Structure 1
Amino acid sequence: MSSSSSQQGAPLAPEKRETFSSRKLFILSAVGSAVGLGNIWRFPYVAYENGGGAFLIPYLVAILCAGIPLLFLDYAVGHRYRGSAPLSYRRLNRKAEVLGWWQVLICFIIAIYYAAIIAWAAMYCWFSITKAWDKNPDGAAAFFSTDFLQTAPEAGVGFDFVGRIFVPMILVWLVTIVIMVAGVNKGISRANAVFMPLLIVMFAILVVQSVFLPGAVDGLNAFFTPDFAALKNPTVWAAAFGHIFFSLSVAFGIMVTYSSYMKRKSDLTGSGYVVAFANSGFELLAGIGVFAALGFMAHNAGTSVGEVATSGIGLAFIAFPTIVSQAPLGSVIGVLFFGSLVFAGLTSLISILEVIVAAFQDKLGWRRTPATLIVSIPVAVISLLLFPTTTGLYLLDTMDAFVNQFGILACALAIVIILGAGLGALPKLAKHLNRHSSIKLGTGWMVLVGGVGPAALGYMLINELQTKLSEQYSGYPAWFNGIFGWGMAGALLVGAVLLSLIPWSKNSKLNDPEYLQHQENVIAEEVPETAVKEY
């Protein structure tokens, strides 16, 4: 009787932490996170605008000197401290927990608007078959803004819902939540094992089809012809570094969380190189496909590629529909392109949401299913209240711009300074990376993370700060930018501090036996100083 009572009063044992069942599934999931919408609709235009083929030089330098070293930093923190972003940083140092919650809140903002873009892409798969935009006499741009989004004339917050967006957004959230409830192996791993091969096959077919279109060569020439004079411009190098930070999912908390699910004896650096270069390979593939299609568009319009080249939403939902209407087998091109956006978006949304779910699961000791539902349903509801509306595009544009620059960049800068100069954690993390990795790190890696990283991030952040302060973003009202731009960016940091002050539950994973055993193994297996090689 007394034994039974004591068991009832005791806290529940923490749920055993899941791990990826194989290195291949981790790599697929990490690549799935890295390969997102930006690879398809942002990289080609960034490269074209910043020297064409010559941009590959600063791009490669940025990968090797900042992207991969900071990717390794995320891997080291997550794998050594075996937790979500807040838990891993808390275990590294009690005062560093706020960094993890900052990343969680960044992911929250991205998740609520990312689902809307996936829903748009899903609808445009169908529109590619019906060529719905042809019914608007003013073309694809007018169809997107007026017929599809039904965009309000001024920036603001309204709750006039658009059914064409609301319904597919519900479906996006349902699919995502079902995958998340299933867990790391049965959900995230399996979803990436299906979506990533589909994405690669679909995009490869799209590229092959695009390069045989009339005028495709002109597009490829525009994309690859090097302008070496551009390399003298500091903004070109800043563009390369900025793109790499976002492209590799560095400082989102995603790679910290995913690496915590890797098995104890994992080749961290070898896996990191595979993920980084797989991501870059897909970006180059996207550049070929996109600019071949834009070359065809320019050929048909009797103009230059520069006149039709654009980035982001304009490329996806205005330029490509025009190509679909004009190209042979245009409907196939449209389904392949927008289907690729859907799959790339879903794999990224899953990883973004996992950062949030894992954080609350670790801190409050919740089991996987209730943690997913308690976290995901409110995120989905907020997303469904704000973005399938006539003012959704204004909110998305502003929140995306400010969370990227004053969320991700600012958080990344804080992390490299605090972990490097503040806590002196880099030597310890380098040792951990070297335990079972095929490529060893040393002083060079620490210099890149502690020196090059802060310099590049600081430069970009100051530039963005000057730009945003000099004029109202996109000409939106000051109150709108103040609340959903500057206010949102500031609220992320304040919210992170408040979340870090919440006491850890007795059922949390802060001191669970599995982690304590892991730490004993870490200490026993760390590579001696003499075995550390230069990066």
Structure 2
Amino acid sequence: MEMLEERRENWGTRGGFVLAAVGSAVGLGNLWGFPYKLYSYGGGAFLVPYIAAMFCVGIPMLILEFSLGHFTQRAAPDAFARTHKRHEFVGWWGILLGFVIITYYPVILAYCISFMGYSFQSIIHGTPLPWAGAGVEGVENAKNFFFDTYLTQGTPWGPFQKNIVIPLIITWILLYLCICRGVNMVGKIVWLTVPLPWLILAVLTVRGLTLPGSMKGLVYYLDPDWSQLARPTTWRFAFGQVFFSLSLAFGVMLTYASFLHRKSDINNNAAIIGLADFATSFIAGLAIFSTLGAMAFATSRAGSAVGVDKVVDSGPGLAFVAFPYALAQLPGAAWWSILFFFTLITLGIDSGFSITESVLAGVVDKTGWPRWLVLPLMSLVGLAMGLIYVTRGGLNWLGTIDTFINGAWGIAFLGLLECAVLGWLYNIETLRSHANERSDWHLGRWWSYSIRIFIPVVLGTLWMWSMFDDFTADNGFLRNPNTGHWNIYNCVGAGIVGIAPVISILMSLIKNPTRGKNSESAADLLNPALCGGKATGALGFIMAAISAAMVVVLISVENISDRFGQYLLWQSLGLGLGALVMSTIVLERHSVYPNHPSAFARWAGIIATLDISAFLAITLIRLTSKAGVSEQKKIVADTLGAVPYIILSVVLLLIIVGLSWCFYRAMTANATQAPIQHELNADV
């Protein structure tokens, strides 16, 4: 597959691309997802698996998507098609899931616009915030205002909430205006929309840390519970949070990279974006928990104490109940409330228009239709479909669909598929060489093995573990076994993620009028006579298939003794590892063009990684069921001790040193390239 050399719109500057990608990665989940998981799964101890996941999964997959997008200069569907025409559906799958997100993500931004409007009204009329209240009754007042007064929750098919429709229309207008002029304009807008929430977060953090009682909140946030590291669930949620936080597998990062200049860096940009995402999440946690600690102090002084653990929550509950209630206890509450919700809007708008741009680019690349026609139509369709989330049951729809799309059913499985396609069915060394040729620092072969083996095993384990949790839930998954009632929300969510691959395959079968006759991939031009490792690949495939059959027997057959079950489990692992080694050897020996490894070896590797994932998932499920799961962190001190301060210092040092090293490598690379460019210009 040759690089696409045709002219394509690109980012004005490298900084514009980095900020846009950071804006896409840094969203509302950084503010309400990461801090709550850190609090729930070991406090400061949670940072150990999270940082490991960032460097072992997050940044390597960012590099993978950047490399493919930059190499092909195409959005996700056409980019995968250029690895092989049969792979195009993988790109469409991510695009479709992204489109589902932009039907409900603007609704959350509409909530933020509404709450910021309430804060302005409080200032204008000189009245308390409508969700304000004291003590435990104040907490209930905040909950009632959001869930009952503002949302007026009801049946799944309840009437539209008119007070949300207008802010939703405003949100879509903002999204349209941000990207209607193309990525060059986006590259200018993000210079405002990305640094601004960082600045506001810094203000909120300083404000929170200087309030009386703030250290009590940080105890909940940073005080480590090292025993949580021995629990598999801690590692599961750490790796899951990293994957979901970086907007991986949606095609967003791949699409953004397709607009990069041909000589732009890839590896260093990915590291900067990963570290910036982590820094934003961590600082947001400091702002939130220090303010919650001050809230606890203020309510105790007033004689109606409310502890941090009584209000802390995840998701919309944190953003629209707990934190607004905490701000309402402070002097100048309305002004701080405006600042907070404006931060949410600026955080969310970047993620919103990045996903919209990836969907738009995919459609434009496929059809050749102009942006000025596709974008308004797509915005109207997204707005119309988003109306389901502004009904009385809208928040339930939003939560369920988001869980399916951003969970194991959606992007976790899609990320696994992405690694399998690019790691095993395509020559991953092509992308590694492409990234190294133009990056400030180079990738070793460890990256190829990470994409091919380590990350698929991790994602496969998370996916299978989550499937087990869903299908063994006490209340059932699609139908309650006790009452026989169907769960309409889960049925619709499962239907959406189930039909997405079907539509993706159909989309890939539509002929692309913009793709020229000479756009065949290298895989389309391979000579069957130069296929190597057929016998070894076939043997590895048989071993992997037998291993998979053992896992199926272990799962499906009841009344298997523990001893025989353990025997099957370990035998399946042995066969899977053997098949993985054999398929890897074949790929290493026969991947230099025009030679190529046999299809048996490629598929043996894919099946073997799933076999190993199944072994790990079954083992971890058994360990978890025996040990039990504790999601609430025990508070052991009233103030921060030495260990939390050390953790805080190490994390800040890691962020500062990591970003400084990345910027140093960027400046060094620019300094060495400048004389070369000057000589080239002189020769011309």
Q: Does the pair score TM above 0.5?
A: yes
Aligned to 2:211: 213
Q: Which has the larger radius of gyration?
A: 2
Deviation digits for residues 44-83 of structure 1 (CA, Å, limit 9, x no counterpart): 0111111111111111100110000011110111000110
Correspondence for 1:169: 168
- Is the Cα–Cα contact under 8 Å of residues 291 and 327 in structure 2 kept in the other structure? no
Q: Is the 8 A contact 2:478 2:486 kept in 1?
A: no
| Pairing 1:140-151 to 2, within 5 Å after superposition | 140-151=142-153
Verify the 8 A CA contact 2:142 2:321 in the aligned structure 1.
yes
Q: 1:501 aligns with which of 506, 509, 517?
A: 509
Deviations 1:156-215 (A, max 9, x none): 223x111211000000001111222111112x2222111112111111111111112221
Quick check: 2:93–2:501 contact (8 Å CA) kept in 1? yes
Q: Which residue is equivalent to 1:458?
A: 460
Q: Does 1:119 align with 2:110?
A: yes
CA distance in structure 2 between the aligned counterparts of 1:72 and 1:479, rounded to whole angstroms: 39
Q: Is the 8 A contact 1:203 1:336 kept in 2?
A: no
The answer to whether the Cα contact below 8 Å between 1:128 and 1:324 also exists between their aligned partners in 2 is no
Q: Which residue of 489, 493, 496 maps to 2:497?
A: 489
2:37 partner letter: V
- Please give the per-residue CA displacement for 1:445-474, whole angstroms capped at 9, x wherever unaligned: 112111221111111111211121123469
Tell me which of 209, 223, 227 is aligned to 1:225.
Answer: 223
Kindly report which structure 2 residues correspond to 1:208-357, keeping only aligned pairs within 5 A, or say none. Answer: 208-299=206-297, 300=299, 302-357=305-360
Structure 1 gap segments, 5+ residues each: 1-13, 517-527, 530-535
User: Are the counterparts in 2 of residues 473 and 481 from structure 1 also a CA contact under 8 Å?
Assistant: no
CA contact (8 A) 2:477 2:487 kept: no
Q: Would you identify which runs of 4 or more consecutive aligned residues in structure 1 move more than 3 Å?
A: 134-138, 472-477, 509-513
Q: Give 2:179's aligned residue.
A: 180
SS for the counterpart of 1:478 is coil
Q: Write out per-residue CA displacement over residues 246-282 of structure 1, whole angstroms, 9 at most, x where no aligned residue.
A: 1111111000000001000011001111111111111
2:91 corresponds to which of 94, 100, 103:
100
What is the rounded CA distance, in whole Å, between the counterparts of 2:517 and 2:200 in structure 1? Answer: 45
Cα distance in structure 1, aligned partners of 2:327 and 2:39:
22
Q: Secondary structure at the match of 1:387?
A: helix
Contact 2:61–2:248 at 8 Å: present in 1 too?
A: yes
> CA 1:327–1:15 in structure 2 vs 1: closer, same or farther (change >3 Å)?
farther
Gap change, CA 1:80 and 1:258, over 3 Å in 2: same
* Residues 478, 490 of structure 2: 8 Å contact kept: no
Instruction: Tell me, in whole angstroms, the C-alpha distance in 1 between the residues paired with 2:292 and 2:55.
Output: 30
Shift, 1:482, TM fit:
4.5
Q: Match for residue 42 of structure 1?
A: 33
SS in 2 for 1:92: coil
2:397–2:489 contact (8 Å) kept in structure 1: no
Amino acid at match of 2:273: V
Give the number of equivalent residue pairs: 496
Secondary structure at the aligned position of 1:226 is classed as coil
Task: Decide whether aligned partners of structure 1 residues 512 and 124 sit closer, same or farther in structure 2, where only a CA change above 3 A counts.
Answer: farther
Contact 1:50 1:236 in 2 (8 A): yes
What root-mean-square deviation, in Å, do the aligned CA atoms of Structure 1 and Structure 2 show?
Answer: 2.3
What is the aligned counterpart of 1:438 among 434, 437, 440? 440
Indicate how the Cα distance of structure 1 residues 510 and 213 shifts in structure 2: closer, same or farther if over 3 A, else same: farther
User: Is the contact made by 1:219 and 1:305 (CA closer than 8 Å) also made in structure 2?
Assistant: yes
Contact 2:295 2:327 in 1 (8 A): no
How far 1:371 moved relative to its partner? 2.1
Structure 2 distance, partners of 1:182, 1:30, is 18
Q: TM-score, normalised by structure 2?
A: 0.70
Q: Rate the CA distance shift 1:54–1:482 in 2: closer, same or farther, 3 A.
A: closer
Aligned twin of 1:409: 412
Q: CA deviation at 1:390?
A: 1.1
Distance between the aligned counterparts of 1:425 and 1:309, measured in 2? Answer: 47
Q: Distance in 2 between matches of 1:359 and 1:92?
A: 16
**Sequence identity (%):** 35
Describe how 1:19-98 pairs up with structure 2 within 5 A: 19-98=10-89
> What is the Cα deviation at residue 338 of structure 1?
1.0
Find the aligned partners of 2:245 and 2:405 in 1 and give their Cα distance. 15
Unaligned 5+ segments in structure 2 are: 123-128, 523-591, 594-684
> Match for residue 377 of structure 2?
374
Q: Distance in 2 between matches of 1:469 and 1:441?
A: 40
CA contact (8 A) 1:363 1:510 kept: no
The Cα shift of 1:425 comes to: 2.4
User: What are the Cα deviations for residues 330-383 of structure 1, in whole angstroms up to 9, with x where unaligned?
Assistant: 222211211111111100000010111001100100122112123222122211
SS class of match (1:439): coil
Q: Does 1:191 align with 2:182?
A: no
Q: Deviations over 1:206-230 (max 9, x none)?
A: 1111112221101112211111111
On the 8 A contact 1:268/1:437 being kept in 2, the answer is yes
Cα gap change, 1:512 to 1:202, in 2 (>3 Å) = farther
Change (3 A) 1:304 1:30: same
- For the residue of structure 1 that corresponds to 2:438, the secondary structure is coil
Deviates more, 1:196-205 or 1:168-177: 196-205
The alpha carbon displacement at 1:510 in A equals 5.5
CA distance in 1, matches of 2:165, 2:479: 27
